A and B are shown apart, each in its own frame.
Chain A
């Protein structure tokens, strides 16, 4: 579908704005009514980004405080030598939970949460394209996160460190359920993060103000786009890692057990392929925030916009070449280490570009020393120090000296607190006036900054020395006379200074934050971007045309004209919630997206998803399965109400631009989401293939082990044929479903049904081929790796067994035809992916051992 042409120049005279005044009576009331949140108990079913975003940020902050309290207990324990405030067992749980909660329950959700709130406002979109997905992500995280944290009160928390290295976390050394809480408890958080990432990618690319082409995209949106892509690439590695470790613990499949061909280093590769980019995953959104705050405080446009975008993209790539620098002490060849050393130093270049761009912006304007400015300056100071020690530990010989010592603790806290916590506080002080009727106190804010800035340096600066003179990390106490006493006491005092700063912030927040559905505090900083337009539950009254990166500075009447409804879509065309979908490069209007409203389905689906994972942890298998089935059921119910079809003819949104209220194919927002989801699936599969090859590498002459027989070629050939045949039938069904008239070809459900039989058969043949050779998944890592590939494929085939009948059901219910076919398209995309993955899996499992001939 071609996007409607916009006028050659968006710079029109006032009289030429898309919609004239006065606006029709009732237009604004209808818009407000459509976006009204539910009341009373149903309030929890709200899906508006303004509500879900704030709940999300609030919950993330709650976990920040809870994990912070854990750190205070640890610092109190370490304040003096030979202290017995907590036992070593509890201390193990404390540091594991502190790291895990800070990284998984605070850092990633906090930046994702902030974007759920900010992105639609900043891009003048009515909401994110999948508001129910945001709500689902939030509730899964909220329920699951709180239960996960609650394990600390029962001595059940994981205790193997936040990176959970086997063999310490394998059944042999950690037979209790503590490790399972981490492995399964983190599962729903990963799902939540990926759901958020899909939402963000599609939101940034498809729902922007008209004319907000890529060159006018706020830097924050760029940062969130790179952030989300990094989650899509990085998180699958940890998803697969946790799956493999849990399969080892539950079924004795020896992926990480060296005696049976496994290798604990495989876990480290999978964990850090996620874990290092994770640092940048939380750092990039923070830099995006800083890039928005600095120009406002300096009252001048950001210097080096293109270079900053370059830096964000380059960081996104280079950060995936660093993971082994966490493994410098594992005995890998020096040549291999040097590649990661090189990339670790190279990544400092884009970070440096951003720092210099901010300094240049500050220098070219007149910086107001507000609380957000102070936190930004604090960030620059602390993060730069952390970056410098980062370059030090990027050198393998230095890292061997500092490894697992308090020097590393100091480095990572300088990077993470400087790179993420300070920008987040700057962001809260900066953007509270968008969400609240009152601003936070500048006077109290300075005290908060002072306490936190001094506290961080008092806590962590001495730790560099504590580490260099030999104190290892993760010890619950230490003897007198090691020279560590005074340094530890100083660090503990510093930790309580940070806590005092945070407590003061909470007081200020409680005193001044007053949620504003409408009538917020206004553009108190004279900022230039669209989140400072007058807004309500519907976000902006009309969707503006943007002509520069600083629209509020360059288009003086913009706020009033937007509020008066003079720009696009000032009401509701379909009578319900809508968003204007725009083209990804030039942001030209493409179609009106009918946005789903509040509903219990995402809330209940999320609760049962969390329950599924958590109950599985405590081995309540039957109840867990029931919860899993209920979660899927609620997702199906939720989806049933989507894909509404063209409920009315194309609508005039103003300025003579007429757009449809429904679209399919590559222009459709859910097509984009499916593509992103398939990239996630592809990455999980790629990581599994990497694991297979890695295990081959560590098993010379035993791939397969001598007693193992590889199935005959006939089996994979048959399986592959069945996969291809099923895909061909789906392609034929798609062709039958094509056309402009609302036909509903009878062949479609039959073709899907037969394709279901074929794809199931393909998977069954693949499994049977291995089974009949008596290959055991427990005897050797070879069998475990083969069955892991087969099992993942079965999972995908089972998913098609849900999607296929669902698509048929929609056809039977009259909700699928040649025009209203988004559901079919999504099923088709997933089907093709499943078949592709199945074929590659067959090739690897059956072809690779023959190719290498047991080398």
Chain B
């Protein structure tokens, strides 16, 4: 697989990887912070657990958004000049996957606004 193809695959699946990173980090952080009794600790005036969840969500959200924008550009590029039908397909699939990932990341970050940290 050439470098260009690897980049295409990473771009197409990137949003889902961002979701996986967010998921692993927010679950890992919550478990560690609650498990070590840091439920009441604060950072920048908010609880350290919601802080960890929100900051992770924000970073991965931005990453997924950037991937979505790049996917859109790629999609337009291949729509106009397809060197192969696989290019156009990959870029279109990338737009869909990165779009869905954006929603999934947002959805997973919502509990931080609703639930107490370690109850």
Q: Are A313 and B16 interface neighbours, CB within 8 A?
A: yes
Q: Which residues 308-349 in A have Cβ within 8 Å of B in the complex? A: 309-310, 313-314, 317-318, 320-321, 332-336, 338-339, 342-343, 345-346, 349
Whether A342 touches B110, Cβ cut-off 8 Å, given contacts A213-B89, A310-B100, is: yes
Is B118 an interface position by the 8 A CB rule?
A: yes
Instruction: Tell me how far the C-beta of A443 lies from the nearest C-beta in chain B, rounded to whole angstroms.
Output: 42
A336 touches B27 (CB 8 A): yes
A368 within 8 A of B: no
Determine whether A666 belongs to the interface, using a CB cutoff of 8 Å to chain B. yes
Q: For the complex, give the distance between the alpha carbons of A174 and B16 in Å.
A: 42
B85 adjacent to A697 (CB under 8 Å): no
Number of CB contacts from chain A to chain B under 8 A: 106
Residues of B contacting A307 with CB < 8 Å?
Answer: 96
B 93-117 contacts with A by CB, 8 A? 93, 96-97, 100, 103-104, 107-108, 110-112, 114-117
Whether the pair A339, B36 counts as a contact (CB closer than 8 A) is no
Name A333's contact: one of B13, B103, B118 (CB within 8 Å): B118
Among A335, A342, A346, A666, chain B packs the most CB atoms within 10 A around the CB of A335
> Which residues does chain B contribute within 8 Å of A213, judged by CB atoms?
84-86, 89
Query: Is B26 an interface residue when CB atoms closer than 8 A count as contact?
Result: yes
Q: Which residues of A contact B20 (CB under 8 A)?
A: 317, 320-321
Q: How far is the CB of B109 from chain A (nearest CB, A)?
A: 9
A584 at the binding interface (Cβ < 8 Å): yes
B55 in contact (CB, < 8 A): no
Task: Decide: A342 near B36, CB < 8 A? Known: A335-B117, A336-B31.
Answer: no
B89 near A306 (CB under 8 angstroms)?
yes
Structural contact, B16 and A335, CB atoms closer than 8 A? no
Contact B49 A855 (CB under 8 A): no
- Which A residues are in CB contact (< 8 Å) with B118? 333, 335
Are B100 and A334 within 8 A (Cβ)?
no
Measured in the bound complex, the distance between the Cα atoms of B30 and A335 in whole Å is: 8
Number of interface residues, chain A, beta carbon within 8 A: 35
Q: How far is the CA of A333 from the CA of B49 in the complex (A)?
A: 12
Number of interface residues of B (CB under 8 A): 42
- B116, A335: Cβ atoms closer than 8 Å: yes
Contacts of B110 in A (CB 8 A): 342
* In contact, B27 and A310 (Cβ under 8 angstroms): no
Chain B residues with CB under 8 A of A697: 31-32, 35-36
- How distant is the Cα of A441 from the Cα of B53 in the complex, in angstroms? 58
Contact status of A333 and B30, CB under 8 A, knowing A313-B13, A346-B104, A585-B5: yes
**B29 vs chain A, min Cβ distance (A):** 10
Question: Main SS of the interface on chain A?
Answer: helix
How does the 8 Å CB contact mask read for B39-75 relative to A, with 1 for contact and 0 for none? 0000000000100010000000000000000000000
Given known pairs A333-B30, A336-B31, the reply for A349 and B100 (CB within 8 Å) is: yes
Q: Secondary structure at chain B's binding surface: helix, strand, loop or mixed?
A: helix
Which residue of A313, A339, A855 contacts B111 across the interface (Cβ within 8 Å)? A339
Find out whether the CB atom of A306 lies under 8 angstroms from the CB atom of B93. yes
For B1-45 the 0/1 string (1 means CB < 8 A from A) is 100010000000100100110010011001110111100000000
User: Quick one: closest A residue to B24, CB to CB?
Assistant: A321
- CB contacts (< 8 Å) of A321 on chain B: these are 19-20, 23, 108
Chain A residues, CB < 8 A from B1: 584-585, 666
Partner among A309, A342, A345, A585 whose Cβ is within 8 Å of the Cβ of B84: A585
List, in ascending order, chain A residues with CB within 8 A of B31's CB: 332-333, 336, 697
A313-B13, A342-B111 known; A214 vs B89 contact (CB < 8 Å): yes
Asked if A518 is an interface residue, CB under 8 A from chain B, the answer is no
| A261 CB to nearest chain B CB (Å) | 14
Q: How far is the CB of B61 from chain A (nearest CB, A)?
A: 14
Q: Is A700 an interface residue (CB 8 A)?
A: yes
Do A333 and B119 form a contact, CB below 8 Å, given A309-B93, A321-B23, A342-B108? yes
A666 to B26 Cα, complex, angstroms: 36
**Closest chain A residue to B109, Cβ basis:** A342
CB neighbors of B among A682-714 (8 A): 697-698, 700
Q: Are B108 and A343 in contact (CB under 8 A)?
A: yes
**Complex-state Cα separation, A306 to B108, whole angstroms:** 25
Contacts of B104 in A (CB 8 A): 318, 343, 346
User: Which residue of B35, B86, B93 contacts A585 across the interface (Cβ within 8 Å)?
Assistant: B86
**Is A564 an interface residue, CB under 8 A from the partner?**
no
- Report chain B residues within 8 Å CB of A309: 93
CB <8 Å contact, A317 and B19: yes
**Interface: A215 (CB within 8 A):** yes
A338 pairs with B111, CB closer than 8 A: yes
Subset of 7 A-B contacts with CB under 8 Å: A214-B89, A314-B97, A318-B19, A333-B117, A335-B118, A338-B114, A342-B107
Closest 3 CB pairs of A and B: A215-B89, A338-B111, A213-B86
- A335-B30, A585-B1 are known; give 10 further A-B pairs, CB within 8 A: A310-B100, A314-B100, A321-B20, A339-B23, A342-B111, A346-B104, A349-B100, A585-B5, A697-B32, A700-B37
